[in-house]
Amino acid sequence: MSTWNPENDVDLLSGSEDEEELAMKRDYHGREAILFVVDANLQAGGVERLMEALNIIRTAFISGILVNDKDLIGLIFANTKHSPPPLESNALDSIVMPENCAVFLPLRQLTKPIVEHFLEFMGEVETQFADKYGLAEPDGCGRFDLMIRLCIELLEKCGKKLNNAKIAYLTDVSTPHPSSSNHFQAALQKASDLEGKEFEFHVIPMVDDFDYEPFYKEFITLSRAIELDAFQVPDAQMLREILADRKLKQDFLRRCLGHFSFYLGPDLSMSVQYYNYFQRRAYPRKVQILRRDNSVVRSKRVITVQKKDEESEEILHEYQIKTTGGWYSCNVGGKNLRISMDQLNHVRNLHKPRMMLLGFKHRSSLPDVTYSKPSNFMYPDDQSIIGSKRLFRALWERCLAREKIAICLFMCKRKSIPRYVALVPVEAPDKEEEKGYRSLLCGDGFKIVYLPESKHIRHIDMFDWNETANTASDEGVEFFQKIIKKLRVDYQPNLINDPTLDALQSNLLALSLDFSTDSKGIDNLLDSTQQDKRIEKFLPIYEEIFDAEVEPAKKRAAKSVTAGASAPKMPKIDEEQLKSLEFVNDLIKDKRLISCTATQLQLILEHHFGCKMAKSTTKAKMVAQIEELSV
Amino acid sequence: MASNKECLIIVLDVRTCAAEEVKLKAAKCVAEILKDKIVCDKKDYVSFVLVGCDSNKDDNRGKNENHKAYPNVVRFGDPQLCNWKLLLDFFAFVNKTACEEGQWLDGLQAAMELQDTAVSFKTARQRILLLFDFNDFPQDYEMFNEITDDLLNKNINLIVGTHNIAYIDNAETDQPQAIFNFSRKCGSVALENQKHVLSLVPRCNATLCSFKEALLTVFKVTNRRPWVWNAKLHIGSKISISLQGMIAMKNQTPVKLVKVWAEDDETVTREIRHFIKGTEVTPLPEDLMAGYMLGGTPVPYDDTLLEPKEPHPPGLHFFGFIKRNAVPDEYFCGDSLYLLAHQKGNKAAGVKLDALVRALLSSDQAILCWKIFSAKFNRPNMVVLLPRLADDNHPATLYMLEVSYTAQHHFWDFPALRTTKTQCSEDQLDAIDQLIDSTDLECSLRDTQQPRPWSQNDLLPFDGLPSIFEQNVMDVLERKVIKDNDRDDKVLKDKKFADVFWRVPEPLEEKSKRAAVGVKKLFPLRFSRAWQEKQLAKEQAENGVQVKQEPPEKEIPLPSDGVGLTNPGADFTRILASVSSITNATQRDARFQALAADTRVVILTLMERKKLNLNELGEIIKLYRQSCLDFNAFLEYDKFAEEIKKVAVAKNHSGFWQDVMVDKQLGPLVLGEPTLDDELALKAYYTVENWEQEEEMEN
C-alpha cells in the first residue's frame, strides 16, 4: 500500500546533525521579505535607466518564484508625482499613504498572476510611466523619511511573521535632500527606527560612480549600528548583478548560523557568531498535486506499532510512533540491552555549545588539501559579551601578522557533534584592486576549517598502482602543457550554474509563464567540439607519444571445479518457480536460499509468508526469517 | 569484493612482577580496541594470550586441541568476532591467577599458532599486539631469531606496546623513532630485554610504541584494495585517461547500532497518509501527480510527460584549465575528498596521468570538469581536480573536490575589523602574543632534541584527532554493558566523558592558563544584561506556554558570567539574586560555590592593585560575608578571612585593614552570641602588630 523506505527514517547517528538544516528550521519561525523601492528619478534622464532597474526586479521576481516559494516580495515607487493604487487597492486600507509614493505591490508571496501582472506592467512603462506616476515636483524630492515610514508600515502590517526583512532602494541620486535641510535630519533619524526594528536597508546605486558620502554612508551605518569607519564602499555594478540574482549583500548581524562563546582560557571568553559561505542547493519545492483541482496534497509518514492476540487476531494495543521513536539495541551475551533515543541524545548533550582554544600552529602546517565539510566564517559579536570585538581583533591581527592558525574544539549548538577546527585569519580584499568574485567572499575574520578526524582519513597503500613505468617522457609533459595553454579559462563562478536546476527551471517557466529562457542545457556543456577544434593540431602527436590504453584483464577468471572453485551457480530461477511453495520448500531444505538474490528473497517472503522486510535487510536475515517462518 | 577484515591476537603480560601500570594500561587498551570493533560493527577476528599465569591450561580450547602448550601461557580460544560478551569475558579472563614466570616469546608463539587457525577466515591482515613490561626478569632468547623470521615469513604484523617508551627524531630519516627511557634503575637483564625488543624493529618490521601510540597504530590500517570508482577523464573527444577514484577523506560516522521499532511480539506498519490543508484525504494513486511550487502557485510537472532523455555519459568531462587557486576552498562542498589514480594495471593511463599532473604543476593549473557518477546517479556536478606529484609511495594523482554553484553563494557585508573603537594598545597585543607563544603546539618542541613522550613533534597532530562522538557512544555503552543496566541515566551525567576533550594539551595547560589570565587583565569584557534579557524574551516567545518547563540551567547565567573587576558589588548582588531564585537546593548551593570562588578571586585581585579602592573592597567583602551567613558557608569564609589577612600583611595594607576589615568588622563569622573564646579569637584576628615596624623600615 505504501512505498516506504525505512532508510529515510531519521537516524540520530547519521544525518541529523546538519547544522545548517537546524539553522534553516529556525527560519521557519518567520518568512523572509524583500521590499523593492524604485526612485522615480531614474526616469529623469530617459526611461532606459528605469527599465534597467525594473529588469533587475524582474529577474529577482523570477528567480525568487523559482526557489523560495514562501518569501514575501513588494514593490513601491518613491518620489512620484501621483500615487495610483495597487491592483488590490484595499490592501492599503490600514496604511497611511504619504505623498510622492506609490505602492505597486504590497508584500505578497509571489504567485503566477502577480508575476504576470508585473510583466504586463513592464510592457507599458515606456509609454505610460511618466503620465501614470510622474516625478515629484519641483525637484524630484519626495520626503525620504515618509517613504521609510511607509516601508516600515508595509513590512509590519504584511500579516505574516517576518524573520528577515530587507528594503532595497534603487536610485541614482546620492542624497535625498540637501544636507542643510530639516528633511535631511529627519531622514537620518529614520535609520535608528530601522535598526530598532531589525529591518535591513540597502541602497542599490543605478550609476557606477555613486557617492555614499553625502548621505548613505551615515544612514547605513546608523541603520546597522556599526561604526562609521567600519563602512566599506561596495561596488555598484556588483550590487546590481547580485540583486538580479535576488540576493543582497547580507547583513552580518541577522543571518548568522549561530552565536557562541569562544574560550581562550578557563575564565576568558568572547562572544562570536558564525556564517556559511554558501547555502544548500535550493531546488523548487516538489509537491504532490491533486489532479482534479490542483490542490496541494501533503503527505506524512505514519509508523504504527500493533500487538495482536495470537489466536483471536484481536488487536491488543496499537500506537503510533514518531520517526525519532524506537530504540537501539545491543546484544550482550543473549540479552538485549536497550539504549533509548533519549539516552543517545544525552550523549550529544554531554558537551556544551562553545568553542575552546587548544593551541596555535604555523599556517604552513595545515595540509594543502584537506577536507571534512564546508568551511564557515567567524566574526565577533559585541552583543552578548561587550568588548569581544577588540579582543577578537587583537587575536586576528596577531595571527595574521605572525601567520598563525588557532586550533580549537568547536561545538556549534546543542545536540551537534564537537569537532576540531582550525581558525585561519582572513582579510577583506582591497576593494580597489580586487573586483572579482573574491571581493564577495567575506570580510575580516577567521575562516573555520573543519579538520577531519583520524577515522575520516583513509590510508590507502598505493603499492599496486605505483610503478616506475608510469613515469611519462618529457614530450608527454610538453604535450599536456600545450593542451593546457590552449584550453585555459578564467574561473568565474557566476557563469557556472547547476545544469539540472537550470533545465528544471526553464521547463517550469515554459510550462507556467510561457516564456523560454536561454538555458543551454547540460548536453551543450558536455559538447566537446569547441575543445577539439582548439587542440586539433596537437592531436596527431598525442597518438604518437602515448600508447593506446589497454584495459587490464579482469582478475576473476573462472576456476575449474577441480581447482576447488565454489559450486557452480544454480540455474536461473524465474518468478513463476518462486511462486510455487513446493519449489521454495525445496530450496529451504537444500539450504540453497542463500544463492537467491535479495529481490527474490523479498518476493518469497511477501508471496508465501505475507511478510515484508525493510529493503536494507541483509540476505542472511531474510534467509533466517524464511527458514523460521517455514517451520 | 575486496575484504578488509583482520585477525588480531593480543598478547598480554599478567606476571605478578610486571608493573601495575602496564597491566592496567594494557587491559584498557584491549577494551578500547574491542569497543571500537563492536560499535563500528567490524568483521574482525580477535583472541587473547596471557603470559604469566600459574597454569598453562586453556579455558575453552577451540577445535585445535593439539595446540602446543607453553609454560605459564594461556590462550583465550579460537579467534572470534567482537561483541559485548567478548569484552565481558575478556575482563574475567585477564584476571586469571598469575605468577612471576612467563616468557613473552612463548606468548608470541602461541599467538602465531592462533593466527594459523585463523587462516581459514581469509582475512586481509594478520596482526599481533604484544603488551608487555620488559622489566628486570630474565627471558629466554634462544628461539628469538627463529620466531622473528617466522613472523616475517608469515607476513604477520607485530606491534609492541610498553610503558617506558620515549621518542626522538631519527637523524637520517627525520622520522620519529621509539627508544626506551633511560633509567638508572635499569638492571643488566632489563637492558638485555630492551635490546632484543629494539631489534624486533629491523628484524621483522615490528612497530615499537607507547601505549597511546599502540592504540593509534592498531586503529590506523592501510588498505591495499580500497573501493574504487572507475571513470574516464575526457579532454575533448580524443584524449581520455582511465582513472580510478577512491575516497581519501570522508566525514561519516562508523558507529553502527541496531535500531528497533517495537517489541518482538509487535508488528510495525508504515504508511503514508495524505492531507489537504490539514484534512486527511485518501486519494487514489492515479489522482495524484507531481508538481513544483512556483511561488504560491503549484505547477503540475510530470517528468514522464517530458521527453525521456538518454542518461548523460558517466565519467569526468573536461570544462577548462584554471589557475591552481582560482576556486577558493571556501566554495568546496560535498562530504568527501576523492583521490584519482590511473586504472590499476593500465600502463598507458598511468603514463598519461603522470604527464598531465606534471604539466599541471609546472604551469600552476588545476582542472575544472563535470562529474557524472554513473548512469543511475546521473546528475552532473562541477568538480575541481588538483594535481599531486608522484613520489616513492604513490603515483601521480589528482584530488577531486566538488564545487558549489553561484546560486548557492552568500555575499556577506562584514564591516572592517580595524576601527578606532577596536584599536588595541601595545600591551594588549603583547598579551595576545604571549598567549600565542605559550600555547604553541609545535615550536616549543622543535627546538629541543630531548626525548619526548609522544611520537610527533606536535601536541595535536592533524592526522590523530579523535572522534569525540564515537568515543562517547562507546564509553557510555561500555558503562551500561558492564553495569548491565537498561535505564540508569546517571552514567550519562558523568562529566568525565566530555571534559577530557575540552582542555589544552597537558604540557601547555599551566602556561596557557597564565597567559589567558594576562589577556583577561588587559581586555575589559562584560556580559550584556540587555542581550541576555532579549534572548530570554525571545525564547519565551518562541516556546509559548512551555516557558515554565524550561530546564533550570537556561535561565541562570553561567558561572562565567562572573563578578567583574569594575563593578563587583553590583555584579555580585545581581548574580546572587538569580542564584537564590533557584529552587533546587543542591543546584543552588553548587551555583553559590561557583559564585563564591569567583568573588574570592576578584577580591584578591583587587587587593593586588597599587592603589586600593577601599569603598569597593569594603562593599564586596561585606556582601560576600553576608552571603556566607545566608548559605551556611562559615568555614569557607573563615578560611578566606585568614587569607585576606595574610595578603594585607604581606602587602602592608594597614589602611585597608583598619578602615575596611576592622571598622566594618569583616572578620570570621560568629554564630549566635559570641562566647569568650570567640571574642578572643576575633581580637587576635583583628590585631596586626608588625605594621609600624615595616612602615618605619620603609621610611
Cβ-defined contact of B283 to A462 (cutoff 8 Å): no
pLDDT at B251: 87
What Å distances lie between residue A384 and A444, B535, B570, CA to CA? 20, 10, 18
CA B420 and chain centroid, separation? 39
Instruction: Give residue A138's pLDDT band: very low, low, confident or very high (50, 70, 90).
Output: confident
**Which domain, by its residues, includes A577?**
569-630
A101 to chain B, closest Cα gap in Å: 27
A-B CB pairs within 8 A amount to 687
Q: Are residues A439 and A531 in the same domain?
A: no
Higher pLDDT, B564 or A416: A416
Q: Which of A144-158, A248-262, B274-288, B602-616 has the lowest mean pLDDT?
A: A248-262
Coil, helix or strand at residue B130: strand
Q: Are residues A72 and A124 in the same domain?
A: yes
Q: Are residues A308 and A218 in the same domain?
A: no
Show Cβ contacts of residue B153 under 8 Å, excluding neighbours closer than 6 positions: none
Dihedral sign (CA B557, B561, B563, B567): negative
Q: Which three cell numbers stand for residue B394?
A: 604513490
Check CB contact of A522 with chain B, cutoff 8 Å: yes
Check CB contact of B228 with chain A, cutoff 8 Å: no
What whole-number distance in Å separates Cα of residue A103 and Cα of residue A10?
Answer: 46
pLDDT at A593: 78
pLDDT at A435 over 70: no
Check CB contact of B254 with chain A, cutoff 8 Å: yes
**CATH for B315-408, among 2.30.110.10, 2.40.290.10, 1.10.150.80, 2.40.50.100?**
2.40.290.10
Instruction: Give residue B11's pLDDT band: very low, low, confident or very high (50, 70, 90).
Output: very high
Instruction: Give residue A27's pLDDT band: very low, low, confident or very high (50, 70, 90).
Output: very low
pLDDT at B47: 94
Q: Is residue A224 part of a domain?
A: yes
DSSP A125-171: HHHHHHHHT---TTTS---HHHHHHHHHHHHHTSSS-EEEEEEEEEE
Q: Is residue A3 part of a domain?
A: no
A contacts of B425 (beta carbons < 8 Å): none
pLDDT at A278 over 60: yes
Instruction: Give residue B699's pLDDT band: very low, low, confident or very high (50, 70, 90).
Output: very low
Give mean pLDDT, residues B142-155. 92
B229 and B312 Cβ atoms separated by less than 8 Å = no
Question: Which helix (H) or strand (E) covers residue B332, if one does?
Answer: strand B332-342
Q: Which of A115-129, A174-188, A308-322, B209-223 has the lowest mean pLDDT?
A: A308-322
Instruction: Give residue A246's pLDDT band: very low, low, confident or very high (50, 70, 90).
Output: low
Cβ-defined contact of B276 to A501 (cutoff 8 Å): no
User: Given B234, B297, B344, which is nearest A528 (Cβ)?
Assistant: B234
Check CB contact of B186 with chain A, cutoff 8 Å: no
pLDDT in tens, A295-334: 888 888 888 888 888 777 787 888 888 777 788 887 777 7
Q: Is residue A381 part of a domain?
A: yes
A137 to chain B, closest Cα gap in Å: 36
How buried is B331 (Cβ within 10 angstroms: 0-12 exposed, 13-18 middle, 19+ buried)?
buried
A contacts of B263 (beta carbons < 8 Å): 307
B contacts of A330 (beta carbons < 8 Å): 84, 257-258, 477, 481
Dihedral of CA atoms B449, B450, B454, B456 in degrees, nearest 10, equals: 0
Kindly state the DSSP code that residue A611 receives in the 8-state scheme. -
What whole-number distance in Å separates Cα of residue B686 and Cα of residue B645?
Answer: 9
Give mean pLDDT, residues A466-488. 91
Check CB contact of A401 with chain B, cutoff 8 Å: no
- The neighbouring-strand residues paired with A620 are none
pLDDT at A520: 59
Higher pLDDT, B62 or A182: A182
Architecture, CATH, for domain B594-698: Alpha Horseshoe (1.25)
pLDDT in tens, A548-569: 888 777 655 555 444 444 544 4
Closest C-alpha to A352, from A425, A410, A439, A433: A410
Q: Which of A102-106, A276-280, B203-207 has the lowest mean pLDDT?
A: A276-280
A contacts of B253 (beta carbons < 8 Å): 13-14
Q: Are residues A326 and A238 in the same domain?
A: no
What whole-number distance in Å separates Cα of residue B207 and Cα of residue B108?
Answer: 15
Q: Is residue A249 part of a domain?
A: no
Q: Are residues A60 and A141 in the same domain?
A: yes
Residue A170 backbone dihedrals phi, psi, to 5 degrees = -100, 115
Q: Which residue has the cell 545566608?
A: B630
pTM of the model: 0.78
Closest C-alpha to A356, from A429, A282, A418, A434: A418
Q: Which of A130-134, A156-160, B688-692 has the lowest mean pLDDT?
A: B688-692
| Burial track A322-332 (b if 16+ CB lie within 10 A, e otherwise) | eeebbbbebeb
Dihedral sign (CA B629, B634, B640, B645): positive
Q: Is residue A15 part of a domain?
A: no
Q: Where are the alpha helices (DSSP H) in B324-371?
A: 347-362
CATH code for residues B6-219: 3.40.50.410
Looking at the 3D structure of chain A, how many domains does it have? Answer: 5
Q: Are residues A228 and A367 in the same domain?
A: no
- The neighbouring-strand residues paired with A37 are A76, A169
Q: Is residue A9 part of a domain?
A: no
Q: Is residue A399 part of a domain?
A: yes
Cβ-defined contact of A452 to B295 (cutoff 8 Å): no
Give mean pLDDT, residues A261-272. 92
Q: Is residue A205 part of a domain?
A: yes
**Chain B contact probe: residue of A243, A249, A470 with most B CBs at under 10 A:** A470
Domain ranges of chain B: 6-219, 315-408, 470-500, 594-698
